[in-house]
Amino acid sequence: MRATMLDVAQLAGVSSKTVSRVINKERYVCVIKKEKVLQAVKALNYQPSVSARQLRGAPSSIGFVYDNPNSHYIIELQNGILDVCLENGLELFIRPCKATSLTICEDIITMVRRSKMTGLILTPPLSEMPELLSALDENNICYVKIISGNGSDDERTICIDDFRAAADLTQYLIDLGHKDIAFLQGDKSHGSAKQRFLGYLAKLNENKICPNEDFILEGIFSFKSGVEGAFELLTRDKKPTAIFACNDEIAAGCLFTTGFMSIPVPKQLSIVGFEDSPFSRQALPQLTTAKQSNEVIAKTATQLLITLIRKNEVPQSQVFTPQLILRDSTCPNE
């Protein structure tokens, strides 16, 4: 016969309410009583009822919804979310989707209801869609959003300060003597692409370097975009001495083009990326970039979501700033 919460309470010598508080990882439970409950749970092989947890409002499953072509970014986020889910006895539902779908709001709400999820982790561009966030609020669906920014009054937010990191990367190139710095943009639907571009422009202006419109090319977060963008820049009469690629995948594409054109990096052209993905470490030369700790960000977002669901303490939004990683793809401009 399957053990019940009452069985655990009797074996531990505590009340059923105390057992419930321990299982739901609530705060302020006596350490001695908590240990007795955990020992009883292990001895009886007690498994909490998922349906009962849902009726009590305790989280039993959460969802990770995304629309992002960067597989490395998604895998790192999944790993971080899953670690926290396992620590808290939660199921994780993972759902890729198309942010441009006309029925995206309906699709996500239907998915949450059918799967009986207690909350969602949202990443760009979904986390930056006002219509989706409003729909979730109207349907009382709890969520945490990961966005590009330097702070938020919304406690459901994890911010990545892309602007500051991009400004730091640009300043590093300027300090190396570069003035002709090109910028290969990412997907316009992602706030991170906009903030990185603005950080780049801010540092050029701060250093009284007039941005060259011919050095600023639109693109997407892909290897192909880097290949094509670099080829366009490097076949012109006026060439940049450095390229700021909006992410490492684009930067890796730039390196492919320079190899094809026999342009030595960094002696003739410096290249920087962003995120510190495997592309940056596997490239030759290895890429100077800005390290974005995606697993840590994902863990923090998941812990924040659980706090919001349990309502056992006042949550706070957090800001992460990617840190410069200096490698072999940059050098002084001679």
Domain with residue 27: its CATH number is 1.10.260.40
**Shared-domain flag, residues 86 and 129:** yes
> What is the tens place of the pLDDT at every residue in 19-78?
777 776 665 677 788 888 888 888 888 776 544 444 344 557 899 999 877 788 889 999
Total domains present in the chain: 3
pLDDT of residue 55: 38
pTM of this structure: 0.79
Percent of the chain with pLDDT over 70: 91
Q: How far apart, in whole angstroms, are the C-alpha atoms of residue 226 and residue 249?
A: 7
Is 287 found in the same domain as 308? Answer: no
- The answer, yes or no, to whether residue 268 has pLDDT greater than 50, is yes
Indicate whether 266 belongs to any domain.
yes
Same domain, 135 and 167: no
Cα dihedral sign, 209-213-219-223: negative
pLDDT > 90: percent of the chain = 65
pLDDT tops 70 at residue 240: yes
Instruction: Look up the domain containing 76 and give its range.
Output: 59-161+294-321
In a domain, 214, yes or no: yes
223 and 140 assigned to the same domain:
no
In a domain, 332, yes or no: no
Residue 248 lies in a domain: yes
Q: Are residues 156 and 298 in the same domain?
A: yes
What is the arithmetic mean of pLDDT over 249-264? 96
| Dihedral in degrees, nearest 10, Cα atoms 112, 189, 164, 143 | -10
Can you list the alpha helix ranges (DSSP code H) found in the chain?
5-12, 16-23, 31-44, 50-56, 71-87, 104-115, 130-138, 162-175, 191-206, 223-234, 248-260, 278-282, 294-310
Angle (deg, nearest 10), helices 104-115 and 130-138: 40
Same domain, 175 and 282: yes
The pLDDT of 236-261, averaged and rounded, is 96
Residues 174 and 272 in one domain: yes
Q: Is the pLDDT of residue 199 over 60?
A: yes
CATH number of the CATH domain containing 307: 3.40.50.2300
Same domain, yes or no, for 64 and 142? yes
Residues 145 and 260 in one domain: no
Q: How far apart are CA 242 and CA 264, in angstroms?
A: 12
